[in-house]
Amino acid sequence: MRPSRLYSRSFLLDHLYRAAIRRNKDDFVLFQIDQINQNIPKFQSDFLTVNILHLNANMMPDGEITSAVAHNSQKSIESYQRFMIHDEFTPISFLHTGTAMFNTAFRPIEEWLLQPIYKQHCTPFDFHWVIGLSYRFPHHKTTFLAFHYLQAKGEGFTHSLDEEFIEYVSYPFYLAWLHIYGAICADTLHQWLSLCAGMTLPRFLVIRTIAGQGIAHANTLGNTLNITTKTIYRHIENAQETILSQLPQSQIDGDHNASRILNIAKAYSFFEFGSGQLIRKLPRRVLKG
């Protein structure tokens, strides 16, 4: 599978990186949705909200929510804060970070329209179909960064769009938001984006698993992705070549296989913050042919 244009070196380092270092959240949320819509024809989103939430011991929002919204009124942020107590969808994503989910995987849209959160918040702002994706904020146990891709009324997101692809497309933007909100410096962002350049969806899933869970799951991962263990190790070899070209030799171990896996786990350790589940516990949206 060819890498998405959003993973090209020119996009990551000439466009996304430059947009991120300006550190203007209102400009960047527009940049994110516009670039995804322009580069991924099947992933068309009318609105995007990006929120940082601090949770209390009961996993409920605690204090102000830092938000940015694209292509809708800023009043939608104030509205959500008033009615978020009725939100049954977003809290689930905090328990399954890095894992994308469609609102219609949990109940049909006809049932959602009867829920208080839809009547009081979503319908007035024309938020209809939702894809949610939350990430951990590094070194914060109860702070999360949440993306919500939304569509207005209509047929909804195409059924050729699956959860793993959403995670893949969103990940570089997550790294950029970490810089915008001060979690990582510009040099770190540049290094991490460089390591991601040219990455395909299968390699993204393989490396994320190595960084977050270890290579002991190679057979399970192969079955999940419907690829052979040999192909998994080819991705490992290619990732090692990327590391050799990006990092100082002093940060890299020898070239035997065990060290290659260790090198990937170390170099891509930042994938742990956005790590999804190898065996997905959340329901999937039913794909149509």
Q: Which two tokens stand for residue 119?
A: 């009547």
* pTM, rounded to two decimals: 0.90
Nearest 5°: phi and psi at 280? -75, 125
Contact 142, 55 (CB under 8 A): yes
Measured CA to CA in angstroms, residue 156 lies from 23, 159, 168, 219 at distances of 32, 9, 20, 35
CATH topology of domain 9-15+22-180: Beta-Lactamase (3.30.450)
Amino acid letter at 74? Q
What are the boundaries of each domain within the chain? 9-15+22-180, 186-274
How many other C-beta atoms can be found within 10 angstroms of the C-beta atom of residue 262? 16
Collect all residues with Cβ–Cβ distance below 8 Å to 180 and sequence separation of at least 6.
20, 23, 24, 25, 28
pLDDT per residue as tens, the chain (289 positions)? 456 899 999 999 999 999 999 999 999 999 999 999 999 988 999 999 999 988 877 667 776 788 899 999 889 988 988 888 888 898 888 888 999 999 999 999 999 999 999 999 999 999 999 999 999 888 888 889 999 999 998 888 998 899 999 999 999 999 999 999 999 999 999 999 999 999 999 899 888 888 877 666 667 777 777 788 888 888 888 888 888 888 766 565 555 555 778 888 889 999 988 777 767 788 888 765 4
